[in-house]
Amino acid sequence: MTAVTERWIHAPSPTALPPTLSVICGRDKSLTHRAVMFASLASGFSRIHFPLLGEDCLSTMACFRALGVRIQELRPTTIAVVSEGFKAWRQPNVDLDCGNSGTTARLISGILAGQPGLRCRLIGDESLSQRPMKRVVEPLRRMGAKIEGRDGGNFLPLEIEGVALKACSHQVDKSSAQVKSALLLAGLFAPGVTTVSLPAGSRDHTERFLERMGAKLERSYQDDLETVRVEGPFEPLAGEFYIPVDPSSAAFFAVYGLLRSGGAIQIPHVLDNPTRLGFLRILERMSPALDTTSEADRRFVEPVMRIQARGGSVLRAADIVAREVPTLVDEIPILAVAAAFAEGRSRFSGLEELRIKESDRLAKTAELLRLAGAGVSVDGDDLIIEGGLKKVRAFTYDSLGDHRLAMAAAILARFGEKPSCILNSECVRVSFPDFYEVLDSVS
């Protein structure tokens, strides 16, 4: 068993806050996963600039290395991916270890299901081994995929025997980018049109990558439903991929900036994609002290912007409705921290997907706020936060290895008079390896 890591978080020592402080946050996890996947599928030499080298993305890289793709560091900020294309992938002689990463396990399932001649076994850590895989396994089976696993294929380990897939039409009942992406990726190997219809709002990076590479992809929207069609077969192209800063990482420092007593925090090069920025819309409802400015840098795989959050103003409570959740699904813990300090009661509705993230994030977010002395309750899958927190009680909080909870707890602890302790604190390596160093650098 691995030892439990712990970290004490203190309030910063009182100093005059600099008028504006630029904070360098980690690069985007979802985009790094996809850049590695598309570069590995392509035949040729690709470079990924500013990849996130967090544990989740390293798991994705390790899986493709096991399939024979060469992935090397060229410079500390650039990796090279050299592949002869998916048709040249070799049979791995090890299990493909997805670690803690749901994105790796679910997207790779879609890719491997369509590789005749390969037989792969996907494994993961304790948390990932308890997360449902049926949401991708069942629709993939309708395309002819041969996937076996624990509990009828609902849990890792999964055995995937690659076959020639058939294109088909899927109706998905969850707004999940992981499910949508797994099916679109599988569709690349199935001759004909694969259609995925699902509740709108989930991140659209897979679609954007495919559009950029010239795949025949169509999207349409009707009421709250989105439909994506992709035509297979399609071979992705090697290229240069510049990765922006992860809005899900920036969110911690945007909230920190708003909660401070003064000064401003600026975060440059943040991915500017509406399917990822629901948290900004909520913070804008809570405070007038948040600004964004588009940046003209066109190198990145998607547009980028600068976020600025000024401290010293009073936050107002804000509700989140179920339809908004897909656009801020990873930011609920840090938005809940903001709501704890706001004036009035906030209700975050329709959070059932949080129950099956790296932990039961809904219950664990409520636990964190309760430990710190905030008024909070859970009503079904809704989180109700009373607001008005003035004094953060010192706490000891077990993140259970869930990175987003550890980081939300650390931001909250910075406003306590006495230090607080985070157990299983080092899980931040999954998505933001130098999070604590960055936090220490900000007073």
Active-site residue list? 330
Residue 150 to residues 107, 157, 226, 296, Cα–Cα distance (Å): 18, 7, 31, 48
Q: Minimum Å distance from CB 234 to ligand S3P?
A: 19
CB nearer to ligand S3P: pick between 153 and 387? 153
The least distance separating ligand S3P from the CB of residue 98, rounded to whole angstroms, comes to 13
Collapsed DSSP state (helix, strand, coil) of residue 410: helix
Give the residue with the Cβ less far from ligand S3P, 109 or 176: 176
Nearest alpha-carbon partner for 263 in 306, 314, 305, 313: 313
Q: Report the residue number whose CB is nearest to ligand S3P.
A: 30
Tokens of 407: 């980081």
Helix, strand, coil share of the chain (percent; to 5): 35, 25, 40
- What distance lies between CA 302 and its chain's CA centroid? 16
217-225 LR contacts (CB < 8 Å, sep 24+)? 217/184, 224/199, 224/200, 224/323, 225/197, 225/198, 225/199, 225/200
- Fill in the DSSP letter of residue 365: H
Task: Give the nearest distance from C-beta 104 to ligand S3P in angstroms.
Answer: 9
State the Cα angle at 339 between 334 and 341, rounded to 5°: 105
Please name the residues in contact with 115: beta carbons below 8 A apart, sequence gap of 6 or more: 86, 89, 162, 189
- Give residues in contact with ligand S3P (CB under 6 A): 30, 33, 103, 176-178, 181, 202-203, 329-330, 353
Closest CA to 104 of 84, 87, 125, 118: 125
DSSP 8-state assignment for residue 328 = G
The smaller minimum CB distance to ligand S3P, of residues 33 and 414, is found at 33
Element (H, E) at 332: helix 332-341
CA-based torsion, 48, 184, 25, 129: positive or negative: negative
Min CB(369)–ligand S3P separation in Å:
21
On whether the CB atoms of residues 194 and 234 are closer than 8 A, the answer is: no
Q: How far is the CB of 327 from ligand S3P (least distance, A)?
A: 10
Q: Which residues contact 339 (CB under 8 A, 6 or more apart)?
A: 286, 315, 317, 318, 346, 348, 385, 387
Q: How far is the CB of 305 from ligand S3P (least distance, A)?
A: 20
Of the pair 52, 67, the CB lying nearest ligand S3P is at 52
- Smallest gap from residue 70 Cβ to ligand S3P (A): 24
Question: Between residues 202 and 249, which has the closer beta carbon with respect to ligand S3P?
Answer: 202
Residue 29 or residue 260: which is nearer to ligand S3P going by CB? 29
- Sequence letter at residue 311: G
Compute the least distance from the CB of residue 53 to ligand S3P, in Å.
Answer: 16
C-beta of 23 vs 329, nearer to ligand S3P: 329
Nearer to ligand S3P, 177 or 369 (CB): 177
Distance CA 137, CA 179 (A): 9
